[in-house]
Amino acid sequence: MANGQNNQASEFVVRVRDVFKEYQVGKLTVRALDGVNLDIYRGEYLSIMGPSGSGKSTLFNMIGGLDKPTSGSVFIDDVDMAQLDPQELAFLRCHRIGYIFQTFNLIPVMTALENVTLPMVFAGVTADEARERGVELLTLVGLGGRLHHKPTELSGGQQQRVAIARALANHPSIILADEPTGNLDLKTGKEIIELLKKLNKERGVTIISATHDLKMLDISDRIVWIRDGKIERVELRSELELKVGEVEGEAG
Amino acid sequence: MSTVHPTTGKGAIRKQVQLPLSVAFRIALLNIRVRFLRALITAAGIMLGIAFFVVVRSAGLYAPPLDPNDPTIQETTTRQTWLVVMSLLMSAVGISNSMLMAVTERYKEIGTMKCLGALDSFIVKLFFLESGMLGVVASFIGFFAGWGSVFLINLARLGGAVITAVPLSVLGGLLLQAMAISILLTVIATILPAIRAAKMPPSAALRVEV
């Protein structure tokens, strides 16, 4: 749902147009998304909020190229994802999108550095360049001293930092974060959110996050509320500020 | 990817590159090394099958020649062949089963790799390489276990003469046979698990078990 601003195509990194998604559950047809329109600005920090079953995850998967709409289109960098074949989709996931997961999803058999360089390996980057970039990214997220640790030797917060470094590996247009603080304690979650915000500000990377975490609202540029497969409202942070105290009280 | 600009003006979408086999090989090796005990148990099935096959084949090499017209001998040979075939099939089913479990167990890992840009064909390669390596190693161990035990028994029974009784070329041929059977069986056993792994949607990475 575009807000009142100027609608020039190139300033949007993601455009969602009239997206419907229906699932067949036994004989029942469930409509998970019911005509969603959404434009996401380049460089913005967007949070998608909504109760479970609202269609939040479905929309998130659509934007991430993980699922195809029943009708409607999703554009990333002006490319309609429905038009891509599997190899082109793999290219898109590899180069344009960085994923951050609730459960971190590091490859357990690989070290932090190997995890961060994996997307570069998939992109065909040379081993030397991948290594160099990997070290740089891990240093950026504050893990320069833990390059060769396995995921099991890292705390939850550290694992999520590795995942963030990995998401940045191929200079993506957008980073999709699915409940990035869902498995972290309050303090660590806050640190991860601050790191994401810092990357968003300093590197200009667009961050799209599906979340329940009210701490996220504080730093999001816009918040999209989903209910029953529809966008209920889109709020700017400036509109929200008045309510934050109340929201935080609720969270505490 | 020098054409890619970090924030604006991205290059066109291309087809994802096919990775050299060596990359899949390295990751498959890593998977085996880290889950070594599991790999050992998976390999043990095929190893025992191959050992049995080699025992049956090499026992004949050391035993005094039998009268091929004797009907009881013929019956024994047929029965042995059946036993060998059945045991090899059982070990193939065993490999298939543990590879299927590995796919179910690693759904998140497979989904994550796809999110990071892995092609279906890469996942397929990964699983075939992994089981293929197990097959090769298992056939080696199986061969030496099987032939070794037959050799030692005959050495104790018949004395030093058995050392030169069977030419190396015959033993080499048997080893090659064992390896061929083992690789063939593991490859066939991995077809279903590999297809299932390749079909795993990338969104499996997001699944949260409750």
* DSSP single-letter state for residue A154: S
Give the C-alpha separation, A117 to A132, whole Å.
Answer: 9
Chain A, nearest residue to B10 by Cα: A77
B chain contacts of residue A166, beta-carbon cutoff 8 Å: 116
Sign of the CA dihedral running A98, A99, A100, A103: negative
Which alpha helices (H) appear in B63-207, and where do they start and end? Answer: 71-105, 107-115, 120-158, 168-199
Does A119 sit within 8 Å of B117, measured CB to CB?
yes
Residue of B34, B111, B202 with shortest CB distance to A109: B34
B chain contacts of residue A133, beta-carbon cutoff 8 Å: none
The three state secondary structure string of B60-97 is HHHCCCCCCCCHHHHHHHHHHHHHHHHHHHHHHHHHHH
Residue B142 has pLDDT above 90, yes or no: yes
pLDDT score, position B183: 92
- The residue that leads in pLDDT, B5 or A67, is A67
Does B112 sit within 8 Å of A101, measured CB to CB?
yes
pLDDT score, position B78: 87
The stretches in chain A having pLDDT less than 70 are 1-10, 240-252
Chain A, nearest residue to B33 by Cα: A109
Q: Report the half-sphere exposure of A138 (CA within 13 A, side-chain side).
A: 23
Does B120 sit within 8 Å of A124, measured CB to CB?
no
Q: Report the half-sphere exposure of B67 (CA within 13 A, side-chain side).
A: 4
B chain contacts of residue A182, beta-carbon cutoff 8 Å: 208
Residues contacting residue A212 through CB under 8 Å, at least 6 positions apart? A49, A179, A182
Give the C-alpha separation, B94 to A86, whole Å.
Answer: 32
A chain contacts of residue B17, beta-carbon cutoff 8 Å: 122-124
pLDDT score, position A237: 80
Highest mean pLDDT among A146-150, B31-35, B67-71, B104-108: A146-150
Mutate to test the interface with B, among A40, A42, A118, A150 (most CBs of B within 10 A): A118
A57-85: pLDDT as tens digits: 899 999 998 888 999 999 999 899 989 99
Of the candidates A121, A87, A125, the one whose C-alpha atom is nearest the C-alpha of residue B23 is A121
pLDDT score, position B22: 87
**Mean pLDDT, chain B, integer:** 87
Residue B5 has pLDDT above 60, yes or no: no
- Please give the model's pTM, rounded to 2 decimal places: 0.85
Alpha-carbon dihedral angle through residues A111, B95, B175, B128, given to the nearest 10 degrees:
-50
Kindly state the average pLDDT of the residues B109-134: 93
Looking only at the bridges linking them, the beta strands covering A28-41 and A12-25 are: antiparallel
Q: What is the ipTM metric for this complex?
A: 0.86
Give the C-alpha separation, A207 to A99, whole Å.
Answer: 10
Chain A, nearest residue to B208 by Cα: A103
Three-state secondary-structure class, residue B4: coil
Residue type, B191: I
pLDDT score, position B164: 82
Where is A49: in which H helix or E strand?
Answer: strand A45-49
Place of tokens 């190396």: B168
